[in-house]
């Protein structure tokens, strides 16, 4: 962007202080940066004489909407246009730049949103002016009331031949469709960091500002894609020597989150609060800081951090990890919403920070993901259980140790259940929902080692723990249907004793005994002979089979009906799990209960 016009350049020493974003407002299409699609369309329309009667400019603040409208007015009334560009030196161009032209009428719809203001505009639209074109610039047009918008419709659709309407808004969704349909709509975009950096360097050079590259980069960051915001930050830097005076230094809070130190996070937040920063602003700045680390982790080319700050963010984001960065932004974002109605917003921020450091205080999905990520990092480092590291809170319990004996080093789901019953006050490493699913029939967990002593049979408890979590899932559908209703009774020197509901069930299960013994040997690393007996202590659970027509399920108390043709690997698992497993576990949980079938 360049300075507005020659008169402002020549008279700059005689004028009072003018902010940089006003002083360096673009005066021609060639000076308008970051909006090539708008420049190309408007310049071609002026050059070829195809100017529309109404335009709608929409986009974020500080992206050049009003400046483009003024440049268009200049080009339409310029006495010596050159290839669709205003000359900038004729009387019309100078008057429009100064805001004293009778050919350009600017209206703020936020303060003139009533029907009377629109009626007055319509009444004067047909009146002539010194220039060839009469341009109406209506800013924040979405603020017009319904009655005012309706009063403008007819004139907007068929204005006098010498009238052009340029409507500007930051919220095009709120502009009535009846207005949008009568205009050519141009969407303005936020500036890239490179475009803002180039703009601020040119302004620094032209204005003779003594500002370092680090301060200029900070002004670019504060601009967040808005040229006006970036130039305002540069103005502040020229006056105070730093563009960061308006931002709290939250790096100490982020460092406390990296170290897993809740006390340090609260102390750093209290210091910032005493310095005058409110909880809402602190939460917003923390989200912005974590976002920079998130971008450096996922897409480094999108971040605008440079130099020493970039190195610091890379270090902190590496220690936090992606899961904690994402959860941090989510938790702090929710806290900003909660602060609006909270009697003490500071408490909401402090609780959010403690929850970030201590994920075990949360039972939501992101907290569980973070805790699992810590365990994965520990396993990747060759650690059997997750130790308490500098990045993890000291009070978080470590992963449970591997049970003694021939079991795998990773505890099965049954171990968690029995530990919870025997030690009700002992914390577990993760909720039950976070346990990994049992492997499929063709999968062998990599964590299943050989037993501690060669030839040693697993205990009954070991068998029970591994049966539901690992063994049963590896069996064929037929073997699974026959053995899932049984249970291990005891283990003696001859092998394991497995009880089945009745004699018929036991007879048909004999054919699959070898397959079950093979699955047990594959898991424990030692041959476990299986001896089948009839379970006298509980009633038999009914088996399930599919009808040949696959129209539903039918129940049978005789396992002899379970022929090979009744098992389909694609659907047997569903029927077995839905009914047989549920019924068997209910009958086991309530001894003496009987199943009543209708």
Domain ranges (residues) in the chain: 6-187, 193-240, 251-368, 402-598
DSSP letter for 581, please.
Answer: I
pLDDT at position 478 is 85
Instruction: Give me the mean pLDDT over the 554-580 stretch.
Output: 44
Which letter does DSSP use for residue 591 in this model? Answer: T
449 vs 157 pLDDT, higher one: 157
pLDDT at 68 over 60: yes
Please answer whether residues 593 and 586 qualify as being in contact, where contact means their C-beta atoms are separated by less than 8 angstroms: yes
Instruction: Work out the pLDDT band at 583, boundaries 50, 70, 90.
Output: low
Buried b (16+ CB within 10 A) or exposed e, 548-578: eeeeeeeeeeebeebeeebbeeeebbebbee
Average pLDDT over residues 527-547: 67
pLDDT at 426 over 70: no
Lowest mean pLDDT among 24-33, 292-301, 466-475: 466-475
Identify which has the larger pLDDT, 399 or 148.
148
The reported pTM is 0.53
Residues in the chain: 598
Structure tokens belonging to residue 580: 């047989």
Give the mean pLDDT of the chain. 78
Q: Is the pLDDT of residue 399 over 70?
A: no
Reply yes or no on whether the pLDDT at 404 is more than 60.
no
β-pairing verdict for 530-534 and 495-500: parallel
The predicted-structure confidence for 367-385, as pLDDT tens digits, reads as follows 677 667 767 767 777 644 4
Range from 38-42, 156-160, 271-275, 444-448 carrying the lowest mean pLDDT? 444-448
What pLDDT, on a 0 to 100 scale, did the predictor assign at position 431?
Answer: 42
- Whether residue 109 has pLDDT greater than 70: yes
Count the helices and strands in the chain (H runs, E runs).
Answer: 25, 10
Is residue 32's pLDDT more than 60?
yes
What is the pLDDT at residue 396? Answer: 42
| pLDDT at residue 567, as a whole number | 44
By percentage, how much of the chain surpasses pLDDT 90?
34
Those residues whose C-beta lies under 8 Å from the C-beta of residue 583, and which sit 6 or more positions away, are 541, 542, 595
pLDDT-derived band at 302, boundaries 50, 70, 90: confident
pLDDT at residue 66 greater than cutoff 90: yes
Q: Give the Cα separation of 27 and 189 in Å (integer).
A: 19
Q: Among the CATH numbers 3.30.230.70, 1.20.272.10, 3.40.50.620, 1.10.357.10, which is that of 251-368?
A: 1.20.272.10
- With 0-12 / 13-18 / 19 or more C-beta atoms within 10 angstroms meaning exposed / middle / buried, residue 59 is buried
Q: Which CATH number fits domain 6-187: 3.40.50.300, 3.40.30.10, 3.40.1160.10, 2.60.40.420?
A: 3.40.50.300
Other beta carbons less than 10 A from residue 377's beta carbon: 16
């Amino acid at each position: 962007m360049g300075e507005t016009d020659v008169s402002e350049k020549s008279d700059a020493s005689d004028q009072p202080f003018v902010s940089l974003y006003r002083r360096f407002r673009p005066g021609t299409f060639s000076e308008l940066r970051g909006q090539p699609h708008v420049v190309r369309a408007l310049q071609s329309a002026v050059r070829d004489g195809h100017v529309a009667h109404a335009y709608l400019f929409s986009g974020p603040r500080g992206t050049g909407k009003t400046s483009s409208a003024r440049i268009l007015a200049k080009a339409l009334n310029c006495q010596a246009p050159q290839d669709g560009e205003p000359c900038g030196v004729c009387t019309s161009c100078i008057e429009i730049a100064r805001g004293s032209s009778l050919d350009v009428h600017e209206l703020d719809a936020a303060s003139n949103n009533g029907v009377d203001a629109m009626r007055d505009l319509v009444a004067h639209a047909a009146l002539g002016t010194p220039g060839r074109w009469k341009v109406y610039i209506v800013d924040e047009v979405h603020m017009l009331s319904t009655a005012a918008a309706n009063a403008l419709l007819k004139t907007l659709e068929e204005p006098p031949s010498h009238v052009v309407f340029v409507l500007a808004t930051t919220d095009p969704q709120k502009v009535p469709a009846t207005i949008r349909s009568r205009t050519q709509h141009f969407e303005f975009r936020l500036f890239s960091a490179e475009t803002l950096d180039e703009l601020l360097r040119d302004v620094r050079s032209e204005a003779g500002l003594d500002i370092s590259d680090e301060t200029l980069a900070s002004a670019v960051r504060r601009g967040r894609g808005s040229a006006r915001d970036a130039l305002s930050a540069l103005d502040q830097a020229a006056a105070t020597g730093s563009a960061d005076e308006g931002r709290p230094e939250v790096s100490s809070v982020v460092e406390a989150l990296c170290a897993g130190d809740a006390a340090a996070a609260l102390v750093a937040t209290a210091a910032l609060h005493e310095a005058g920063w409110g909880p809402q602003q602190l939460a917003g700045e923390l989200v912005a800081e974590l976002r920079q680390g998130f971008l450096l982790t996922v897409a480094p080319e999108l971040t605008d951090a440079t130099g020493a700050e970039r190195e610091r963010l890379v270090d902190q984001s590496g220690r936090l990890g992606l899961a904690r960065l994402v959860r941090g932004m989510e938790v702090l974002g929710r806290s900003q919403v909660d602060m609006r109605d909270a009697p003490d917003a500071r408490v909401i921020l402090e609780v959010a920070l403690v929850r970030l450091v201590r994920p075990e205080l949360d039972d939501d999905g992101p907290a569980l993901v973070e805790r699992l990520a810590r365990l994965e990092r520990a396993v990747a480092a060759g650690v059997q259980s997750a130790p308490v590291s500098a990045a993890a809170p000291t009070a978080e319990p470590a992963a449970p140790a591997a049970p003694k004996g021939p079991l795998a080093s990773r505890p099965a789901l049954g171990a968690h259940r029995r530990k919870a019953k025997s030690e009700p006050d002992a914390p577990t490493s993760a909720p039950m929902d976070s346990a990994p699913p049992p492997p499929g029939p063709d999968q062998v967990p990599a964590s299943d080692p050989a037993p501690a002593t060669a030839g040693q049979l697993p205990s009954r408890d070991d068998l029970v723990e591994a049966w539901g979590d690992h063994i049963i899932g590896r069996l064929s559908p037929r073997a699974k249907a026959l053995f899932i209703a049984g249970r291990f009774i005891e283990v003696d020197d001859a092998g394991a004793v497995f009880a089945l509901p009745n004699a018929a069930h036991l007879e048909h299960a004999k054919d699959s005994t070898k397959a079950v013994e093979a699955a047990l040997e594959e898991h424990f690393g030692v041959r476990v002979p299986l001896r089948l007996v009839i379970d006298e202590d509980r009633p038999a659970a009914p088996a399930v089979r599919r009808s040949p027509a696959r129209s539903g399920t039918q129940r049978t108390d005789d396992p002899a009906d379970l022929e090979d043709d009744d098992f389909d690997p694609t659907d047997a698992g569903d029927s077995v799990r839905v009914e047989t497993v549920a019924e068997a576990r209910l009958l086991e949980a309530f001894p003496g209960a009987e199943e009543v079938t209708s």
